[in-house]
Chain A
Amino acid sequence: MGYRQVTSMIGSEAGPARAPRTTAEVGLTMDIVVLVKQVPDSGGQRALDPADNTVVRATADNVINEMDEYAIEEALTVKEAHGGEVTILTVGPDTATDAIRKALSMGADRAVHVSDPAIHGACAPQTSAIIAAALSRLDYDLVLCGAESTDGQVSVMPALLSERLGIPHLSGARKLTVEGSTARVERQTDGGYWLLEAQLPAIVSTWDTINEPRYPSFKGIMAAKKKPVQTLTLADLGIDSATVGLATATSRVVDFAGRPPKGAGVKVSDEGDGAEKLVGFLAEQKLV
């Protein structure tokens, strides 16, 4: 809405795909692309549309995928240390501009929004092809994204992109450091971490233990209105719309149903005998 739509940022159309930068070209400043997805609020009503078994997005209470806020925060921190630009990249319907605005008001510099009716019902491999096509038209040293989204909870997008773009993926980061052309990540594991290392350009997916995302300031919110947002269609990216969307998706929801509500259980008040009743129940169920 209050955006200045620019088309000059990466060419009047998206321009041809470029090869990823080589390590030698990676400068001292860091150009970062952050992948941001808009999702239905996990605390609100979420549903599948019985007409085509896809996620209802139009009427849902849509928010920025929470995990992506950590990726934005990390990008801003890296930029503050190294200089460079932070670009937000979103693939999603027109309503996703709200998520983009929030990311820009946190401090990102610009955004690219890929929106096309043909994307409706796309599967993860198809979406990854779209994101990869958009990324290969941008200059980046680092791609940051959340470790998972709350609507699909597929947590595979960065791995798919790594595979398509041929650049390394350092996943599940609870800590990121960039030194010269080397990225190091502490990957959160059960009871510890793995120390990972790769050369830039690279994709890093962030876990919610990595930082504390900032709130947009008033100044940030005002500034966001003037930041450039480029809108691209599949045609701009050179993607045939027949290869994307529900009809050609690599997997499909056949049917769905509400989970049968659990029969109401027993609820007792503790009259000094709460523990006894609890243990009695466990014994009855042969659980102790």
Chain B
Amino acid sequence: MAEVLVLVELDPAGEGVRKTTLEALTAARALGEPSAVVVGAPGTAASVQDALAEYGAGKVYVAESAEADDFLVAPKAEVLAQLVGAVAPAAVVVPSSPEGKEIAGRLAIKTGSGFLTDVTEIAPDGTATQVAFAGQTIVHSRVTVGTPIYTLRGNSVTPVPAPAAASQVPVQVTLSERARQTRVVDRVVEAKSSRPELTEAAVVVSGGRGVASAENFSLIEALADSLGAAVGASRAAVDSGFYPHTFQVGQTGKTVSPQLYIAVGISGAIQHRAGMQTSKTIVAVNKDPEAPIFELADFGVVGDLNTIVPAATQQIAARKG
């Protein structure tokens, strides 16, 4: 069976692989047998071996080097290009983070290949599905040159276990001067949230301008916590200083695709929809019955968030007893 290279995305907090890696391994199985590629400091592969085996990696290419994390993006692209040359895979699948897209682009130039970003599905014949224009249009695309490279949008594929050998294959890493051009001097964590990561969360509760103040966002946080959810915000809420930019959902923020998205005090502008339209179930609370968010809500409540949200939080807590 053809080999498909899957770049492993590690959890930034050092807790194994990100869920996006398991999604990529699952999606890659449509095209052939996934081989995971680990680029990182010595010891990294050992710490993620079990997860890679459980989700179908026949092989694990171990590209470990003390300097791998000292430089931005380029080392990963260089290792992948080396492997594409050596094993001639059927395709390469990379999780669709900002870093993943940069890696895919560099790899495309290095290998003379085409690439497709933010794909939500890959068919056995290599055709990829993408969602364009704020979710209004579904597009099917194909790479026509070289080794197809895909970046897979988070939460579009459900990870399915498929135990495999995950036999380790060491890869010699010798970084070129060009891969050392942009140095990562420091990694600074400003706000460590105890809530799930926005793009990976099963439930997201977002607040908009209607929340009216930074203090009042505690209502959104309380509802989120009662559901074990991540907190999101519209751009108007971010621009008004109610909530940090990291949590912005939409065209210029995060794209989320949770099981449940609750939009509170958000009108539902096209640019906001761009980031949440593919959520499985959408619930909206808005005092304006004409708000466009109701056009895509499975369940909408017309009313004041200041009374509805705290009451809902209380009732959810009560149900959990």
Residue of B nearest to A193 (CB): B188
A278 touches B301 (CB 8 A): yes
B135 interfacial by beta-carbon distance below 8 Å: yes
Give Cα A98–Cα B289 distance, bound, in whole angstroms.
38
Contact of B300 among A150, A171, A251, A267 (CB under 8 A): A267
B106 touches A191 (CB 8 A): no
Given A48-B139, A251-B141, A281-B283, A194 and B184 touching (CB < 8 A)? yes
Contact of A279 among B12, B106, B144, B316 (CB under 8 A): B316
Taking CB atoms, residues of chain B closer than 8 Å to A240 are: none
B76 CB to closest chain A CB, in angstroms? Answer: 12
B108 touches A160 (CB 8 A): yes
Taking CB atoms, residues of chain B closer than 8 Å to A153 are: 117-118, 251
A66 touches B308 (CB 8 A): no
Residue of B nearest to A265 (CB): B298
A242 CB to closest chain B CB, in angstroms? Answer: 14
* B-contact bits for A166-178, CB 8 A (1 contact / 0 none): 1111111000000
Contact of A256 among B72, B140, B252, B312 (CB under 8 A): B140
Given A194-B186, A265-B299, A250 and B144 touching (CB < 8 A)? yes
* B-contact bits for A138-164, CB 8 A (1 contact / 0 none): 000000000110100111110110111
B185 touches A197 (CB 8 A): yes
Taking CB atoms, residues of chain B closer than 8 Å to A167 are: 181
Taking CB atoms, residues of chain A closer than 8 Å to B316 are: 279, 282, 288
B188 touches A209 (CB 8 A): no
A1 interfacial by beta-carbon distance below 8 Å: no
Interface size on B, residues (CB 8 A): 91
Give Cα A37–Cα B98 distance, bound, in whole angstroms.
19
Give Cα A197–Cα B185 distance, bound, in whole angstroms.
7
B236 CB to closest chain A CB, in angstroms? Answer: 14
A253 touches B105 (CB 8 A): no
B56 CB to closest chain A CB, in angstroms? Answer: 26
Interface size on A, residues (CB 8 A): 80
Binds A, one of B21-29, B83-91, B266-274: B266-274
Give Cα A21–Cα B285 distance, bound, in whole angstroms.
56
* A-contact bits for B116-153, CB 8 A (1 contact / 0 none): 11100000000100011111111111111110000000
B319 touches A283 (CB 8 A): yes
Contact of A43 among B117, B127, B271, B289 (CB under 8 A): B271
Q: Which of A177-204 contact B (CB under 8 A)?
A: 184, 187-199, 202
B1 interfacial by beta-carbon distance below 8 Å: no
Taking CB atoms, residues of chain B closer than 8 Å to A249 are: 114, 144
A14 CB to closest chain B CB, in angstroms? Answer: 22
Given A196-B182, A256-B137, A287-B259, A156 and B104 touching (CB < 8 A)? yes
B299 touches A278 (CB 8 A): yes
Taking CB atoms, residues of chain B closer than 8 Å to A250 are: 108, 113-115, 143-146
Residue of A nearest to B286 (CB): A267
Give Cα A162–Cα B298 distance, bound, in whole angstroms.
44
Residue of A nearest to B235 (CB): A208
B51 interfacial by beta-carbon distance below 8 Å: no
A48 touches B132 (CB 8 A): yes
Give Cα A198–Cα B270 distance, bound, in whole angstroms.
37
Residue of A nearest to B252 (CB): A208
A168 touches B181 (CB 8 A): yes
B212 interfacial by beta-carbon distance below 8 Å: no
Taking CB atoms, residues of chain A closer than 8 Å to B98 are: 147, 155, 171-172
Give Cα A55–Cα B127 distance, bound, in whole angstroms.
19
B137 touches A48 (CB 8 A): yes
A25 interfacial by beta-carbon distance below 8 Å: no
A274 interfacial by beta-carbon distance below 8 Å: yes
B8 interfacial by beta-carbon distance below 8 Å: no
Binds B, one of A75-83, A99-107, A122-130, A229-237: A122-130
B183 touches A66 (CB 8 A): no
B215 interfacial by beta-carbon distance below 8 Å: no
* A-contact bits for B187-198, CB 8 A (1 contact / 0 none): 111111100011
Residue of A nearest to B189 (CB): A192
A254 touches B127 (CB 8 A): yes
A259 touches B141 (CB 8 A): no
B181 touches A195 (CB 8 A): no
B251 touches A281 (CB 8 A): no
B187 touches A278 (CB 8 A): no
Beyond the given A163-B110, A251-B116, A267-B301, please list 7 additional residue pairs across the A-B interface where CB-CB is below 8 A. Answer: A148-B252, A153-B117, A160-B109, A172-B98, A194-B184, A250-B113, A262-B282
Instruction: Enumerate the 6 nearest inter-chain pairs by beta-carbon distance, A residue then B residue, closest first.
Output: A270-B303, A250-B114, A275-B311, A156-B105, A168-B181, A251-B114
10 A-B pairs with CB atoms under 8 Å apart are A43-B270, A67-B252, A128-B109, A159-B101, A250-B113, A251-B141, A256-B132, A258-B136, A262-B296, A270-B308
Interface of A toward B, CB cutoff 8 Å: 42-43, 46-48, 53, 66-67, 123-125, 128, 147-148, 150, 153-157, 159-160, 162-164, 166-172, 184, 187-199, 202, 208-209, 249-259, 262, 264-270, 274-279, 281-283, 285, 287-288
